[in-house]
Structure 1
Amino acid sequence: MTAIEAIMKRRSVRKFTGEPVTKETVMQLIDAAAAAPSAMNLRPVRFILMDKHDMAKLAATIDQKQPFEQGQWAIAVCADTRGYTGGTGWLEDASAALENILIAATALGLGSLWYGVYRRAAKEPQVRAALNLPEGAECAGIAVIGHAAEEKEGHGAADGKFVLESKWSE
């Protein structure tokens, strides 16, 4: 599958089968994430790999339980902002890493979900506690990984109403 095909095929999956995903496979996803660009090459992004046990503990504290109960792995994409001099660049770095995980998962025939965390009052405190994040560490989001139990149609071409030329127009 080409990179473009994986991008166009990738969809959020909230239902997973029980089919196992090897740790070696999930480490490939982390390698892809680590290859994402980083503002000024400061590399503040950190990855917390969660197995089924860790995911179950998190699921017990949040409303959106199903993906964490069914997925095989979760990768929390965090940033160490202590001493970070790049402003909000860490959030862009983490977002690029998360997207790389999702696209790589699709290319490997896996399903994935971006569980947004940063500045989400209903999620952030529980995730911070579950991951034992210190002050100055932030979690942008968590990629839930597994074999998809639902099939969704891929994306098509960009809708013309979202493409503006030269300047903003209504």
Structure 2
Amino acid sequence: MDIFEALSSRYSYRQEFLNQEIPEGDIRKIVAAGLKAPSGCNCQSTSFVIVTEGSLRKTIAEILPSKVTRTASVILVILTEKIVTPTGQTFELEDYGAAVENILLAVTALGYATVWLDGMLKLDGKAEKIHRLLSVPQEKTVRAILPIGVPRETGAPREKKRWEERVVYNKYEKGTGQF
């Protein structure tokens, strides 16, 4: 699958996965896609925990209960580290967003499915629970999880707004706020 096909067919999968393992070679390709993402000032502030052990996956599913977390073959935990550049900037949010998007496209290209889960991590200390469970070093933050597996059912991307609603060339028409 080429990049444009992956972009057009990627969707957020929220159903049960098949009980089928993902080969180690594919896991490595998926994570390598995240490692190849651009990074502000080349700080490379994003890192990953690949969770394949059944008891750890089960505990994560108890912390974040959903069909995808209960049935995923792999749960990829996305971590960031706050690295301050010489100019005083940090890019961990941008870095992790770019890494996750690369991973989403790699998952799609290889025929697997996932969903980007981060909002629910912010509730009730869930990110901190996963942080402790996985013995994540203190300087790293749990930002997101990606439950990955073989989809039980096919899905489709959600409808996006029309080009004209989101894109303008050069500048907005003066005073209208319109395209």
Q: 1:5 to 1:157 in 2, by over 3 A?
A: farther
Q: CA deviation at 1:158?
A: 4.4
Matched residue pairs, number?
Answer: 167
Does structure 2 conserve the Cα–Cα contact (< 8 Å) formed by 1:118 and 1:141? no
Does structure 2 conserve the Cα–Cα contact (< 8 Å) formed by 1:76 and 1:139? yes
Q: 2 CA distance for matches of 1:69 and 1:6?
A: 25
Query: What letter corresponds to residue 10 of structure 1 in structure 2?
Result: R
Q: Cα deviation per residue 1:12-33 (whole Å; 9 max; x = unaligned)? A: 1122111221122111101111
1:93 corresponds, among 89, 92, 95, to 95
Q: 1:48 to 1:163 in 2, by over 3 A?
A: same
- Which segment drifts farther, 147-156 or 107-116? 147-156
Does structure 2 conserve the Cα–Cα contact (< 8 Å) formed by 1:52 and 1:72? no
Percent identical pairs in the alignment equals 22
Does structure 1 conserve the Cα–Cα contact (< 8 Å) formed by 2:12 and 2:157? no
Q: 2 CA distance for matches of 1:88 and 1:8?
A: 31
Q: 2 CA distance for matches of 1:66 and 1:126?
A: 20
Extract unaligned runs of 5+ from structure 1: none
Does structure 2 conserve the Cα–Cα contact (< 8 Å) formed by 1:112 and 1:144? yes
Q: Cα deviation per residue 1:42-69 (whole Å; 9 max; x = unaligned)? A: 111111010142211211223x332122
Q: CA deviation at 1:155?
A: 5.2
Q: 2 CA distance for matches of 1:134 and 1:153?
A: 37
Q: 1 CA distance for matches of 2:138 and 2:149?
A: 31
- The aligned counterpart of 1:153 is 156
Does structure 2 conserve the Cα–Cα contact (< 8 Å) formed by 1:73 and 1:145? yes
Q: Cα deviation per residue 1:51-92 (whole Å; 9 max; x = unaligned)? A: 142211211223x332122110011111122xx114441111
Q: 1 or 2, which has the higher strand percentage?
A: 1
- The aligned counterpart of 2:9 is 9
Does structure 2 conserve the Cα–Cα contact (< 8 Å) formed by 1:110 and 1:148? yes
Query: What letter corresponds to residue 148 of structure 1 in structure 2?
Result: P
Matched, 1:169 2:170: no
Q: 1 CA distance for matches of 2:12 and 2:52?
A: 20
Matched, 1:35 2:36: yes
Q: CA deviation at 1:156?
A: 5.8
Extract unaligned runs of 5+ from structure 2: none
Query: What letter corresponds to residue 44 of structure 2 in structure 1?
Result: R
Does structure 1 conserve the Cα–Cα contact (< 8 Å) formed by 2:51 and 2:75? yes
Q: 1 CA distance for matches of 2:99 and 2:42?
A: 13
Q: What is the 5 A alignment of 1:1-170?
A: 1-14=1-14, 15-53=16-54, 54-62=56-64, 64-81=65-82, 84-86=83-85, 87-116=89-118, 120-122=122-124, 123-154=126-157, 158-160=161-163, 162-165=165-168, 166-167=171-172, 169=177
